[in-house]
Structure 1
Amino acid sequence: MVSKVLVATAQHLQERGQALWPPEVLTPERLLKHYPQETWRVAWENGQPVGTFCLLRADPFFWPDDPAGEAFYLHKLGVHPAAQGRGLAQKLLHFAVQETREAGRPWLKLDTASDRSKLRALYNDFGFEDVDERQVGAYYVVRMRMEILP
């Protein structure tokens, strides 16, 4: 179900000339290899998955210097094209903030491709601040964070 949402999202973006994730990295097997099943959150509408994200308790690849327990790390936020334009991305982000707060973590952090201006704007408008831009492995990313107040 998570894979279907992310593949539909990726294909829609690719059709618009805004490729984000290659579909081959969105297979259930690949996703579960990097993101355990219990870290996924799914939004449902009429019995169908329409949105998803992953919330990790640690992210040593993109945030290697973070102390344990400091943050939750958001990955793979996706909204199915059939559900876009209705504020679902913001609702998913609110849920991630709520879960981070309930866990007592002071930060919600993420990374995104540095050349994705619309996605960066979504996160900035929601309240994330840019931390830095860097190359991590083969990726050029902007790392972002949001302070979570009790």
Structure 2
Amino acid sequence: MPDLTLTTGDVDAASAVLIAAATALEARSEPLWPPATLTPERLLKHYPAASWRVAWQGGRAAACMSLQDRDLLFWPEDAPGTALYLHKLAVHPDAQGRGLSGWMLDRAVQEGREHGLAALKLDTATARPKLCALYESYGFQRVAERRVLGFDVTLYTLDLR
């Protein structure tokens, strides 16, 4: 990917990417996240500022994700220090189709390995076959399906060893 840089902690830029992506999905009748839940203030209630990674291309926020060292909601049985947990991966609509999702996943894998973690884990809506296919094509293994807070989710893991 030419001209990409990754920064940490910019929740305002992450929020802008997420809102743009969520709005575009709604316009295609494929809602994922309500845009009102993606403001910086709302995001900070669940995802610390330091967890945010933003990819910049040509001075514009192009993609984002949150990486956390614990996920008690979706992975309560996991011991601390064993995995990195990915949330809210999104690519701005203006930057889609350029492989940014894979680039972001590569960065998450790199970070997990640098910290000596055994796995990268995530959850996604079970009823989102395109998202499931994206993660599976990257190499994630489907390990479980659960109902969490009224939503059916599929849990995925990627071995980092």
**Normalised TM-score (structure 1):** 0.98
* Matched residue, 1:64: 76
The separation in 2 between residues aligned to 1:141 and 1:24, in whole angstroms, is 21
* Matched residue, 1:129: 141
The separation in 1 between residues aligned to 2:31 and 2:110, in whole angstroms, is 30
1:21-36 correspondence to structure 2 within 5 Å: 21-36=33-48
Structure 1 stretch displaced more, 89-98 or 14-23: 14-23
Following superposition, which runs of at least 4 residues in structure 1 exceed 4 angstroms of deviation?
none
Q: Partner letter of residue 114 of structure 2?
A: E
Does residue 1:37 correspond to 2:36, yes or no?
no
1:71-150 correspondence to structure 2 within 5 Å: 71-149=83-161
1:16 to partner: Cα distance: 1.1
1:6-60 per-residue CA deviation (whole Å, 9 max, x = no partner) reads 0000011111111110111101001011100100000001111110000000000
The separation in 1 between residues aligned to 2:34 and 2:62, in whole angstroms, is 19
Report SS of the residue matched to 2:65.
strand
Matched residue count: 149
**Normalised TM-score (structure 2):** 0.91
Q: Partner letter of residue 105 of structure 1?
A: L
Structure 2, unpaired ranges of 5+: 1-12
Report SS of the residue matched to 2:32.
coil
1:105 to partner: Cα distance: 0.4
Q: Partner letter of residue 16 of structure 1?
A: R
The separation in 2 between residues aligned to 1:22 and 1:140, in whole angstroms, is 17
1:137 to partner: Cα distance: 1.6
Q: Partner letter of residue 67 of structure 1?
A: A
Structure 1, unpaired ranges of 5+: none
1:51-73 per-residue CA deviation (whole Å, 9 max, x = no partner) reads 00000000001101111111000
